[in-house]
Amino acid sequence: MWEKTMPIEQVREIRGKSSVFLGIGAIEKIYDIANEVKTRGLNKALIVTGKSGYKKCGAWDYVKKALEENDIEYVLYNKVTPNPLNTQIDEAKILGIELGAKFVIGIGGGSSIDTAKSAAIMINYPNKTASELYEYKFTPKKSLPVIAINTTHGTGSEGNRFAVTSILDDGKEFKPAIAYDFSYPMYSIDDPKLMITLPKLQTLYTSIDAVNHVFEACTTSVTSPYSVLLAKETVRLVDKYLPKALENGEDLEARYYLSYAALMGGICFDNGMVHLTHALEHPLSAMKPNLAHGLGLAVILPSIAKYTYKARPEVLADVLSPIIPELKGYKEEAVKVSLGIKKWLHDLGVKETLSDLGFKDEDIKRLVELTFKTPSLDLLLNCSPIKSTEDLITAIYKESL
Ligand SMILES: [Fe+2]
């Protein structure tokens, strides 16, 4: 068990396309980052965050001081909600334009970081709206630099180019995604100390999000050995450290490895993409904006696992071995895998079905329709290792009720 030998109080830089500072105390890197961006002439910042978490977790004290010490002017947009909306991007954009922002800092989980990435694009397009961006009505060519201060361990957005928003105007119920090469954060911070105030359910749901990212990324039609490698380690670390973090939210070692696992998950799907679980969850949390993304994923994963395993038994037997050790890699094990994942989730505390979340049989037609109609989700469906037919998607929703 090498994890104990790792000096987790020493901050390490994990370099992918984003430079991510990982370790206890990594938030102090904001001083170096602020100093560096100032020397590059980036002297005005738009801060994008939620209502109160950015203060409660302790991040704001550091960020505010770092900006003030370096004479960086800033404006704060702190109205990002879970399952953030396109209108929040537009509001943040206006504040950024009024200030003349030269870079954007996102503080929070995926919702805040994704909204920060989107606002960083939209500031360059004052006459366009975020719904036009997410409905692919125009193709952006640039973004302001983004700094991501991550306070959860699920999204992986701090290490990849993806962003998501919900568009609920005009009865749309869309939750599309975008991914542009200029959207990798310039710098990110993953500090386990900022995560100890994360409530138990969010600890659970965000970690399940990370597991879904890798479950999907290692089984898409565009996966690579790299995604399989990252997937295997992500599942191992979440399986080992999530129960510890649920038992004691202040366990910094558990938070460190969950944070590292989620970062790997983000890089894993930045390379391998995602498929059915995300394509079918987005309509769920678009229809019910109070539904946590990770819970939505958890509820449909057992059914999706059954179908996916049949197509990728060798990969999944290896990747899922920490959770279901006896797998041999035969497609006949598909039902066993579905039940094994269900039990794993149940033991962690996820006992809900789609019905418990308020969905009924008569909602399935709309969910299937949204899966096909939501902009960008067709790309995910095309990455599925099994053909994403209407029958298959209907069956998955039905089995999850
Ligand atoms: Fe996700």
- pLDDT for res 356: 97
CA of residue 128 to ligand 1 center, whole Å: 26
Q: Which CATH class is domain 2-194?
A: alpha beta
| Confidence (pLDDT) at 210 | 98
Tell me the CA–centroid distance for residue 107 and ligand 1, in Å: 18
Q: Over 90: is that where the pLDDT of 279 sits?
A: yes
Report the pLDDT value the prediction gives residue 144, as an integer from 0 to 100: 98
User: Where do the CATH 1.20.1090.10 domains begin and end in the chain?
Assistant: 199-399
Q: Which residue has the tokens 């993806």?
A: 162
CA–centroid distance, residue 310 to ligand 1 (Å)? 23
Percent of the chain with pLDDT over 70: 100
Segment 120-169, tens digit of pLDDT: 999 999 999 999 999 999 999 999 999 999 999 999 999 999 999 999 99
Q: Is the dihedral of CA 18, 22, 26, 29 positive or negative?
A: negative
Compute, in angstroms, the gap from residue 293 CA to the centroid of ligand 1.
7
Calculate how far, in angstroms, residue 297's C-alpha sits from the geometric centre of ligand 1.
8
User: Is the Cβ–Cβ distance between 175 and 85 less than 8 Å?
Assistant: no
Rounded distance from Cα 108 to ligand 1 centre (Å): 15
Distance 38 CA to ligand 1 centre (A): 33
The pLDDT score that the predictor gives to residue 188 is 98
Provide the CATH number for the domain formed by 199-399 in this structure. Answer: 1.20.1090.10
Distance 40 CA to ligand 1 centre (A): 33
What share of the chain has pLDDT > 90, as a percent?
99
Q: What is the pTM of this model?
A: 0.96
Asked whether the beta carbons of 268 and 217 are under 8 A apart, the reply is yes
Cα 265 to ligand 1 centre (Å): 9
- Ligand 1 (ion): which residues have CB within 5 A? 209
- Per-residue model confidence as pLDDT tens digits over 388-401: 999 999 999 999 99
Count other C-beta atoms under 10 Å from residue 141's C-beta: 10
Q: What is the distance in A from the centroid of ligand 1 to the CA of 364? A: 21
Distance between CA atoms of residues 7 and 57, nearest Å: 23
Check whether 170 has a pLDDT greater than 90: no
pLDDT tens digits for 19-47? 999 999 999 999 999 999 999 999 999 99
DSSP state of 32: H
pLDDT at 124: 98
Distance 212 CA to ligand 1 centre (A): 7
| 68 Cα–ligand 1 center, Å | 34
Expressed in angstroms and rounded, the spacing between residue 210 Cα and the centre of ligand 1 is 7
Q: How far is the CA of 209 from the centre of ligand 1 (A)?
A: 5
pLDDT given for residue 46 in this prediction: 98
151 alpha carbon to ligand 1 midpoint, in Å?
15
The pLDDT of residue 306 is above 90: yes
Q: What is the mean pLDDT of residues 180-193?
A: 98
Q: How far is the CA of 155 from the centre of ligand 1 (A)?
A: 6
Over the stretch 252-271, which tens digit does the pLDDT of each residue have? Answer: 999 999 999 999 999 999 99
Q: For the chain, where do the domains classified as CATH 3.40.50.1970 start and end?
A: 2-194
Cα–Cα distance, 30 to 21 (Å, whole number):
10
Q: Residue type for 62, please?
A: Y
The pLDDT tens digits of the residues spanning 214-265 come to: 999 999 999 999 999 999 999 999 999 999 999 999 999 999 999 999 999 9
Q: Residue 1 pLDDT more than 90? A: no
Amino acid making up residue 373: K
Residue 382, pLDDT score: 97
208 alpha carbon – ligand 1 mean position (Å) = 9
Residues in the chain: 401
Mean pLDDT for the stretch of residues 94-110: 98
Distance, in Å, from the CA atom of 70 to the CA atom of 34, rounded to the nearest integer, reads: 7
Distance 65 CA to ligand 1 centre (A): 32
**Ligand 1 centroid distance, CA of 67 (Å):** 31
H or E element, residue 107: strand 103-108
